[in-house]
Amino acid sequence: GESVGLHLPTLSVQEGDNSIINCAYSNSASDYFIWYKQESGKGPQFIIDIRSNMDKRQGQRVTVLLNKTVKHLSLQIAATQPGDSAVYFCAEILNTGGFKTIFGAGTRLFVKA
Amino acid sequence: NAGVTQTPKFQVLKTGQSMTLQCAQDMNHEYMSWYRQDPGMGLRLIHYSVGAGITDQGEVPNGYNVSRSTTEDFPLRLLSAAPSQTSVYFCASRSGGPYEQYFGPGTRLTVT
């Protein structure tokens, strides 16, 4: 079936440390993956994306890694800051008509000062 | 650009009442969608539209109707509210293709 799940529902890190948020997906037809950040009381916001023909993509303080062999996606946040505290969702976009998006359940990241 | 706007921000309904959640975007995006988010859970797709006049069902369409008469607007109608529809509702839009979605601020709906 179609599913995107996360290994860890919550993650607590010390300010300044690196954070790694993991995600497993199950659909081989997924062509594109996105990480979203959702702060309390707000809608999800795009962080970074990666296409299925890539295995790594870097942004500002964030890196996404894609391992298609084991259907695994991760988001790495360098030098985590209090403002990074939020819920992070991975999403896979199927290579089908309409490019259906499937969201994972989310991981809540707590950053301790 | 205002992006994606939603009204109202909060709403309380009694069981059996009907209402419409409004969503508008000013980015000329073709694709719009409605999601619901229950506590501690991810987003579930209710309905979506790939352009004016075209709508389709998502994962959890029962109890909801949509229409898309213009590119900008995509209202979600609750026909007869039930407590199970208590949730936060997000509207999102994107341009054509497998790109990121832009989300509105959400509507928190409580059905008593």
Segment A48-73, tens digit of pLDDT = 999 999 999 999 999 999 999 999 99
Tell me whether the omega of the peptide bond preceding residue A44 falls within 30 degrees of 0, making it cis: no
Q: Tell me if chain B has a CB within 8 Å of the CB of A87.
A: no
Interface test with B, best of A47, A96, A103, A107 (most B CBs within 10 A): A103
pLDDT at residue number A76: 98
pLDDT at residue number A98: 66
Q: Is the C-alpha dihedral spanning B100, A22, A53, A61 positive or negative?
A: positive
How far away is chain B from the Cα of A95, in angstroms, using its nearest Cα?
8
Alpha carbon separation from A96 to A30, A102, B29, B78 (Å, rounded): 9, 12, 19, 29
Say whether A98 and B50 touch across the interface (CB within 8 A). Answer: yes
Q: Which residue has the tokens 């009694």?
A: B14
Half-sphere exposure of B18 (CA within 13 A, CB side): 8
What are the residues whose beta carbons fall under 8 Å from the beta carbon of A50, sequence distance 6 or more? A32, A33, A56, A57, A64, A66, A73
